[in-house]
Chain A
Amino acid sequence: MTEPLVRIEGVSKSFGTFQAVKNVSLEVAKGEIFSLLGGSGCGKTTLLRMLAGFEAPTVGKIFIDGVDMSAVPPWERPVHMMFQSYALFPHMSVEKNVGYGLKHEKMSAAERQDRVRQMLDLVQLTPFATRKPHQISGGQRQRVALARALARQPKLLLLDEPLAALDKKLREHTQFELMSIQERTGVTFIVVTHDQEEAMTLSDRIAVMDQGVVRQIGKPGAVYEFPNSRFVANFLGSINAWEAKVVSIGEVITVDVPALGQQVQARFIQGLAVGQTVTLALRPEKITIHRSPVEGVNVIAGEVKDLAYFGKDSLYRIALPSGQLVSVHAVNANRGAEEDRLADWYDKVWLTYPPASAILLVE
């Protein structure tokens, strides 16, 4: 990592007796897209507002570009924010909105106009420059907000649920647009979102937050494939999780899973002892369904209890003899005619998975 642009050191924030953010420390590198991901009330927005300067940390310090922000008011921070509601000034035209921050810059009127034009070009809103915010569509408003926040060329851009107010189609399109704008401008982005897919596609790194605490920080793939707790595993995608007891530790770890009624293997992790109780976590898409008995380890026999057809894929729920249900995600690679289906209701099936894709979680 290059020199960090943002350093958050042991920051906590309390509102009365409620502790919104608890002892958060993290660093964000220059040019990175960093996401704060979590459910509502997890403290992600409070953390963002502390970066912008609207809230002061109760404990801890925030450094931006090496400068302690404790005594710096919002209007002097090299940070701009894109608000969830966009917060466009309703009485100003699109170009006035975009140019508002520039009146605090020492630049000539011509330069200012130039910059506004540049920004409008960047978000493709030039034809709408003279319209008022209520005369343009929701997606365009979002782009005005982005252009306005970028106009002063901040070191850091904070985006509060940037895509939440858009419909699904527009969201996907805008996601890529955001990424390309970030690439072209080189501004560091910190994005707050509750949408795990948004976080996964947008970000270089994700911090998963829960109840004011950062549970895990890492690249999207790392956080998804190697969650460090049941919470993170559950929050990013879905998971089959069972209690298990460590039986033997070798190249892989063998655990006894009462819910499955058998012993299975999982990926090796450090620091486990034989006899320890852990959670065995298995993502639904890592499991393969077979129609006939299979030899070997990690074979679980069951019966199709439920299936949901989504078009490109299907979700199966397999009932085990113990009564436990296993979720399995399978891509419908064959033409999805009913008779081509992988398995049908009440079919007997055998499930397998590679040992490396089963994760043991201590927390």
Chain B
Amino acid sequence: MKRRSPFLFTMLGFGFAFFYIPILSMIVYSFNASRLATVWGGFSTKWYGSLMSNGQVGKALWLSLEIAVISSTCATIFGTMAGIALARFTKFRGRTLFSGLVTAPLIMPEVITGISSLIFFILMAQYVGWPAARGFTTVTLAHITFSMVFVTTIVQSRMLSADRAIEEAAMDLGSRPWQVMKDITLPVISPAILSGWLLAFTISMDDVVITNFTTGPGTTTLPILIWSKVKLGVTPDINALATLIVLAVGVCVLAAGVAMNRAEIKRERDRRMAYRANE
């Protein structure tokens, strides 16, 4: 057996330490009885209690969820349409321009997207009168705009890798184009649509920069709330909130891992089934 280099182990240890010590210390200090972030004052769960009784946090979380659900759903609808169009209609006037415009926001700095959205909303309010003030609507619109791109990219690549013949087969068997879309295309690309939605949801949930530019008074999402609180100094209740978020993410990752593992086992079983079917 090959001897494992102690150097590699050390580097791995440093890597993990670099990632996880800050998170661990944050979790530990969320149980700190002291108000000071750097002094250990004994174990306590009182910050979780104060977090629960703090209506502001709950409101911000709810608002974030609302915006994320609406914006990711809209982004998924528009993004899927754009992705299908880009993958299927190989030739139309301005295709290159369109696909360039779709993918540009992927590499555009968020600050630029934020500022341009802000200017656009100001002009809209001035000349069209809608949306009249910045807040829920403008944040949602901005989130739709920049998260749609991710959905488009995912859906387009799934469409390009799918066998075009299955759509032709459905058409050949008597289905009109819209029936083909409903019966075949959408079900086949549905995993891509779902992952596009999840990505758009996640991006919307934790966006600070663009939200900051497009939000107005009274519309405070969770990331904005955390950010503004930290500006006044890190308090243990923020630690408690962050710990809960880590917990939620951890549960999701674990569930995804279990689901993937199950899918892998099922695939293996199907493969054996197909092999046995030969005999």
Instruction: Please report the C-alpha to C-alpha distance between residue A100 and residue B170 in the assembled complex, in whole angstroms.
Output: 8
A90 vs B167: C-alpha distance in the bound complex, in angstroms? 11
List residues of chain A with CB within 8 A of the CB of B277: 128, 131, 135-137, 140
CA distance A79 to B277 in the complex (A): 31
Would you call B275 an interface residue if the criterion is a C-beta within 8 Å of the partner chain's C-beta atoms? yes
As a 0/1 sequence over residues 163 to 174 of chain B, the CB contacts with chain A under 8 angstroms (1 = contact) are: 101101111111
* Interfacial chain A residues near B270, Cβ < 8 Å: 132, 134-135
A87 and B171 in contact, given A75-B176, A135-B277, A137-B277 (Cβ under 8 angstroms): no
**B172→A131 contact, CB < 8 A:** no
With A83-B165, A87-B165, A88-B166 as known contacts, state yes or no: A131 contacts B273, CB within 8 Å.
yes
- Taking the closest CB of chain B, its distance from the CB of A16, in whole angstroms, is 11
Give bound CA distance, A109 to B274, whole Å: 30
- Expressed in whole angstroms, the minimum distance between the Cβ of A306 and any Cβ of chain B is 39
- Interface assignment of A81: CB less than 8 Å from any CB of chain B: yes
Which residue on A lies nearest to B180, using beta carbons?
Answer: A75
- How far apart are the CA atoms of A88 and B188 in the complex, in Å? 11
- In the complex, the answer to whether B273 meets A135 with C-beta atoms within 8 Å is yes
B53 within 8 A of A: no
Q: A81: which B residues are within 8 A, CB to CB?
A: 168-169, 172
Q: Does A54 have its Cβ within 8 Å of any Cβ on chain B? A: yes
Contact residue among A54, A91, A104 (Cβ-Cβ distance under 8 Å from B175):
A104
Give the residues in chain B near A79, CB-CB below 8 Å: 172
Q: How far is the CB of B148 from chain A (nearest CB, A)?
A: 25
Convert B235-271 into 0s and 1s, putting 1 for each residue whose CB lies closer than 8 angstroms to a CB of A: 0000000000000000000000000000000000010
Q: Is B187 an interface residue (CB 8 A)?
A: yes
Residues of B within 8 A of A89 (CB): 166, 169-170, 183-184, 188
Q: Is B278 located at the chain interface by the 8 A CB criterion? A: yes
Residue of A nearest to B270 (CB): A135
Give the B interface residue count (CB, 8 A): 22
Q: Which residues of B contact A132 (CB under 8 A)?
A: 270
In this assembly, does A218 line the interface, its C-beta being within 8 Å of a C-beta of chain B? no
CA distance A91 to B187 in the complex (A): 7
Residue among A76, A100, A128, A149 with most chain B CB within 10 A? A100
Q: A54-B168, A89-B166, A131-B273 are in contact. Are A152 and B187 (CB under 8 A)?
A: no
Q: Is the CB of A148 within 8 A of B173?
A: yes
CB distance from B182 to the nearest CB of A (A): 12
Assess the B174–A101 pair: CB atoms within 8 A.
Answer: yes
Distance in angstroms from A49 CB to nearest chain B CB is: 9
Residues of B within 8 A of A149 (CB): 172-173
Chain A's closest residue to B273 (CB) is A135
Residue-wise interface mask of B (183-215) relative to A, using a CB-CB cutoff of 8 A (1 in contact, 0 not): 110011000000000000000000000000000
Give which listed residue, A75, A91, A137, contacts B171 with CB less than 8 A.
Answer: A75
In the assembled complex, which residues on chain B have CB atoms less than 8 Å from the CB atom of A74? 168, 171-172
Task: Let me know if A80 is at the binding interface, CB within 8 A.
Answer: yes
A window 56-95: CB within 8 A of B: 73-77, 79-81, 83-85, 87-91
Query: Whole-angstrom distance between the alpha carbons of A4 and B233 in the complex?
Result: 88
Chain B residues with Cβ below 8 Å from A139 are 278
With A and B bound together, what is the CA distance between A148 and B165 in angstroms?
14
B173 adjacent to A80 (CB under 8 Å): yes
Residues of A within 8 A of B183 (CB): 89, 100
Chain A residue with Cβ nearest B166: A87
Contact in complex: B168, A134 (CB < 8 Å): no
Q: Which of A142-156 contact B (CB under 8 A)?
A: 148-149, 152
In the complex, the answer to whether B174 meets A75 with C-beta atoms within 8 Å is: yes
Interfacial chain A residues near B273, Cβ < 8 Å: 131, 135-136
Q: Does A244 contact B (CB under 8 A)?
A: no
Q: Beta-carbon contacts of A345-356 to B below 8 Å, as 1s and 0s? A: 000000000000
A215 to B58, CA, bound (A): 78
Q: Is A52 an interface residue (CB 8 A)?
A: yes
**Closest CB-CB distance, A190 to chain B, in whole Å?**
14
Chain B 116-155 interface 0/1 with A at a Cβ cutoff of 8 Å (1 = within): 0000000000000000000000000000000000000000
Q: Which residues of B contact A77 (CB under 8 A)?
A: 172
Q: Once bound together, how far apart are the Cα atoms of A101 and B184, in whole Å?
A: 13
Minimum Cβ distance to chain B for residue A71 (Å): 15
What are the residues of chain A within 8 A of B173 when measuring CB–CB?
A: 75, 80, 100-101, 104, 148-149, 152
Contact A52 B274 (CB under 8 A): no
Name the A residues within 8 Å of B278 (CB-CB): 137, 139
Q: Which residue of B lies closest to A151 (CB)?
A: B173
A77 CB to closest chain B CB, in angstroms? 8
Q: Hey, which chain B residues are within 8 Å of A131, CB to CB?
A: 273, 277
What string of 1s and 0s marks CB contacts (under 8 Å) between B21-52 and chain A?
A: 00000000000000000000000000000000
Q: Which A residues touch B170, using CB under 8 A? A: 89, 100
Chain A residues with Cβ under 8 A from B176's Cβ? 75
Residues of A within 8 A of B171 (CB): 54, 73-75
- Is A87 a contact partner of B163 (Cβ separation < 8 A)? yes
CB pairs A–B below 8 angstroms (29 shown): A54-B168, A73-B171, A74-B171, A75-B171, A75-B175, A77-B172, A81-B168, A83-B165, A83-B168, A83-B169, A84-B165, A85-B163, A87-B163, A87-B166, A87-B168, A89-B184, A89-B188, A90-B166, A100-B170, A100-B183, A104-B173, A134-B274, A135-B270, A136-B273, A136-B274, A137-B275, A149-B172, A149-B173, A152-B173
Task: Please name the 5 residue pairs, one residue from A and one from B, whose CB atoms are nearest each other, closest first.
Answer: A101-B173, A104-B174, A87-B165, A87-B169, A137-B278
